[in-house]
Amino acid sequence: MAQEENFTALVPWKPTPTLIPAQWQTYLEELGHKAKGPHYIAGLSYDRQGTSNLLREWGLPLPVVVAGGLLFYTEKELRHIAADERRELLAHMRSAQRYIGCIEDEDLSTLLSAPYDDLGARLIAVAVYYVALKGLSQRKNKRPFNHHELSHIESIGTTLVNITKKFNLWLFKRDVEDLVLQLQEPVQYRSIEEELQKILQRDDEKIEGFCHAAAIILQQAVQTPVRVAYSACGVEGFSRRQQVKQMTATSRKNQLTGFDLVIFDVIVPLAKDCYSTFGALNHLGYSDQLTEHIAHPKLNGSSYLSTGLILEQKPYLYNLPWLSQNTFVAQLQIATSVMNAVTRYGCLYPDCYTLYTGGALRGSENSSLKEVLNCEHGNIYTSIAESLKQGPVAINESAPITVYNKRLRPYSLPKGATVLDFAYACDENLTGYV
């Protein structure tokens, strides 16, 4: 029974939608019926309901969700709200309006730099623009966008993607990229989307079969609960994979399979189980490389072991005869349920949100390697805490360009800097290797 409970706990985490009390729901509806001058975002009237719905789906605190729905109301119009609640709402609303201006101006320095005490306001601004772009994709007027409009869409999309990277909103990043592609190339988008769904449907039975077989084999090998699930890439991600495949592959392997379009999430109870599970996985094929982000998570908290496994029809996979028909490479990410949640949802995970907004977590920092390996969160919270100590990026007139490395550390570069300049900034000893 205990093992079954542990297995249930390995189900991939999703945000729990925020519960809006009846009195707040009624109040928001009453305000919504009152005439209010339009506020335009990306050329469309601000969508109050759509914004608050998205914030609610993200499971954000009630004041943040309500502030997203009241964004452009004045203090006088909110006079019927209790004083303490009104002050909190107005603080979120004013900060969110400032961040909306930063997105419009592509001010990444302000958007990505600490402090993040009002992270909710940043997320309101992100939601406002995403909902606006969504509205553009659903407009009745199908007139093609002109050059200026396309440039504006690209600017907003790029800024939103940078924010999702900083706060580790991996799944939402995929949605943003797909939406921007849909707006920029609607015909191409539909064609790519149809092909993506066709391949996934064709190989669905194989993908599900591998998940089931791998989970059973790994549980027997490491003697601990293991869940294997998968996430498909988005349309934009599929387009990138197509381009890479066309440049690198030949003949039969030029055709993408469903395995090329998904990431397999291998979820285990504790950090130490990730390493033993990786060892067992190597008996199912050949690992082409290993990325280690459990001992050293990214500064945004992303933590996992990642490997590409070239599958073979070994005795352990005898019940998957189709393995002999093609070369299948399974991209796997091994993590605990907490690591998986933070990697996929980032700052939306409650403990991460608490850290970003200045709260303290009991037991978030491990004092020994034994504690790190015998918990679910590993070094995630320590890594995020380290990133919060960096403070805002100093504006340097002689080096006004800020570039982030793969761990999201900022580097200041002068105008006209090249990739080589960035490499030297990351490692001053680089000349010794050349």
Give pLDDT tens digits along the chain (434 positions). Answer: 344 445 557 888 999 999 999 999 888 888 777 656 678 998 888 999 999 999 999 999 999 999 999 999 888 888 888 999 999 999 999 999 999 999 999 999 899 988 898 999 999 999 999 999 999 999 877 788 999 999 999 999 999 999 999 999 999 999 999 999 999 999 999 999 999 999 999 999 999 999 999 999 999 999 999 999 999 999 999 999 988 877 765 544 568 999 999 999 999 999 999 999 999 999 898 888 899 999 999 999 999 999 999 998 777 888 898 988 888 999 999 999 999 999 999 999 999 999 999 877 766 665 689 999 999 999 999 999 888 886 666 666 677 777 777 666 778 888 888 888 888 888 766 655 55
Given the DSSP bridges, would you call strands 40-41 and 44-45 parallel, antiparallel or unpaired? Answer: antiparallel
Domain 203-386 has CATH 3.40.50.150: no
Q: Which of 96, 137, 140, 101 is nearest to 119 (CA)?
A: 96
* Residue showing tokens 């303490």: 84
Question: Considering only CA atoms, which of 95, 44, 54, 53 is closest in space to residue 71?
Answer: 95
SS3 370: helix
Nearest CA-CA partner of 260 in 303, 199, 179: 199
Each domain of the chain, given as residue ranges in start order, spans 22-184, 203-386, 401-433
Kindly report the pTM of this predicted structure: 0.88
Contacts for 355 with CB less than 8 Å, ≥ 6 apart: 361, 364, 381, 384, 385, 388
Q: Which of 426, 355, 411 is nearest to 387 (CA)?
A: 355
